[in-house]
Structure 1
Amino acid sequence: MNYIISASTDVGNIKNTNQDSFNAKLISTKQGKMVFAVLCDGMGGLSKGEVASTTVVKAFGKWAETRLPELSENEITDSDIRNDWVQIVTDFNEKIKSYGKKSGISLGTTVTAILITNRRYYIINVGDTRAYQITDSVQVLTKDQTVVAREVELGNITEEEAKTDPRRSVLLQCIGASDVVYPDMFFGDTAQNAVYMLCSDGFRHEISEQEIYQYLQPDVMLDSDGMKFNMDKLIKINKQRQERDNITVLSIRTF
């Protein structure tokens, strides 16, 4: 399996600071080439959200640099990834809470991280950043930890109502602002000739799934420059439609 990686971010129309943080890297291991990527959205409206998001991105990046090569000495298991990543989230929930308490500020962050190997993908998610798989259709791989997602699941509101519900950005939990964080984990078989996309919620509110497919499906995502051009186009459309949040998108093309 080979990979192409590209990313784009924008402060958006309203905010003075971009509280989104991300990192992506191609890693050569004894198990073959892998891609690790992580995206965090610092909490809108909370002070120093960029501190929280950057801190968690760095923690996961350190894991990819130090721990992943150790795991790759043997076949990686779902439980290996689950145990390591849940521990990172648990540790940094406490560290960020402690920092906020000492500093007298409120801060927090979402996280979506993905490891893609030639056999399997592994995802952790807290909050409402998302991971997608795009092949001949668009599939959301994560589950939003939001009030409106829970209301849809309970049958209290419809998917259409959720799109305009004023609570759509209210999280059920986030790293640094929850007593205990319960991350969701997702695992699956890696698809060849696919696009794996991570995004902050600011990227997806004002565009449709059909537009995501039009600009990000594998047949038009053939090189890093072209991938960035297409992602920038969707960011521009979001801003034209008055998206108010920071906007970040990261894509990995498998081939």
Structure 2
Amino acid sequence: MSFVLRAVAASDQGLVRSNNEDAVFVGERLLVVADGMGGLPAGELASDILVKAVAVVDDMPDSGEPLQDLVAALGTANQGIEEAVAADDARDGMGTTVTALLLTGDRVAALNVGDSRCYLLRDGTLTQLTRDDTYVQALVDQGVLTPDDARRHPQRALVTQAVQGGPFRPAGRMIPVRAQDRFLLCSDGLSDYVDDEVIATTLRSYADRQVCAAELIARTLEAGAPDNVTVIVADVEAIVADVEA
């Protein structure tokens, strides 16, 4: 059985920021969210460079090796960011997180660097597919903090790696898909301020993807939205082949 992704994106600069450093791409097989860092305008530039480099994968033939394709595209993005920094000292330190989802046959590849996340809602249960590259996540892994403590920690936004022209180690995994699976990709503007249970309830409550994405943004605004927030809501649908009589 073959599958297709039906997806929509929504983004908001939030109630505090004067610009939006997030970038997003929704393609036929590929979904990408990037959260730039480094200040105006460097963060916007970094996320834009990354999304444009990775978006090329959507037009490539399906190689059957989606993780390798994504990693190669991230390498191109990383080189582009390195060159942009070399061209202007004011861009020193700029970089971007990324979370990406690529459909191949009956599986998706989920890949991330930094703290932008990918979730799966299946049969009403929400699962976080990516692990944050953050200082507080390392403390959670060590048993120093609970997940609830991490959400309130003053250094929760401190990432331990990003795509910024230097070495990085993306994390990736393959996930078999089913019809009616729902994926959420988001920047930390959502996940840092809206509890997972609220996210899960919202994903379950709104079948219309556009409405659901808008409601997720609304939950962030209700929480004060001190950061940019970007979401992609994507549903998996089965392709039924025509059978000749």
Length-normalised TM-score, structure 2? 0.88
Cα deviation, 1:18-37, whole Å, max 9, x if unaligned, reads 111111122xxxxxxxx211
Q: What does residue range 1-255 of structure 1 map to in structure 2 within 5 Å?
A: 1-26=3-28, 35-43=29-37, 45=39, 47-65=41-59, 67=60, 69=61, 71=63, 76=64, 80-104=65-89, 105-106=91-92, 107-135=94-122, 136-176=124-164, 179-217=166-204, 220-221=206-207, 226-255=208-237
Contact 2:49/2:80 (<8 A) preserved = no
Number of aligned pairs?
232
**Mind listing any 5+ residue stretches in structure 2 that lack a counterpart?**
238-245
Cα deviation, 1:200-228, whole Å, max 9, x if unaligned, reads 000122222221122112x632xxxx322
Residues 239 and 220 (structure 1), Cα distance of their counterparts in 2 relative to 1, 3 Å cut:
closer
Contact 2:13/2:20 (<8 A) preserved = yes
Residue identity in the other structure for 2:131: K
The root-mean-square deviation of aligned C-alpha atoms, in Å, is: 1.7
Cα deviation, 1:99-152, whole Å, max 9, x if unaligned, reads 113201231101111112441110110000010100221000001011111110
- Name the structure 2 match of 1:31: none
Per-residue deviation, 1:2: 4.0
**CA distance in structure 2 between the partners assigned to 1:100 and 1:117 by the alignment:** 34
**Mind listing any 5+ residue stretches in structure 1 that lack a counterpart?**
27-34
Q: What stretches of structure 1 move > 6 A for 4+ residues in a row? A: none
Cα deviation, 1:26-52, whole Å, max 9, x if unaligned, reads 2xxxxxxxx211111111646411111
**CA distance in structure 1 between the partners assigned to 2:77 and 2:15 by the alignment:** 30
Residue identity in the other structure for 1:5: A
**CA distance in structure 2 between the partners assigned to 1:153 and 1:54 by the alignment:** 32
Residues 70 and 249 (structure 1), Cα distance of their counterparts in 2 relative to 1, 3 Å cut:
closer
Contact 2:8/2:234 (<8 A) preserved = yes
Contact 1:205/1:243 (<8 A) preserved = no
**CA distance in structure 2 between the partners assigned to 1:143 and 1:99 by the alignment:** 28
Q: Describe the SS at the equivalent of 1:42.
A: strand
* Percent of aligned pairs sharing the same letter: 28
Contact 1:118/1:190 (<8 A) preserved = no
Contact 2:22/2:187 (<8 A) preserved = yes
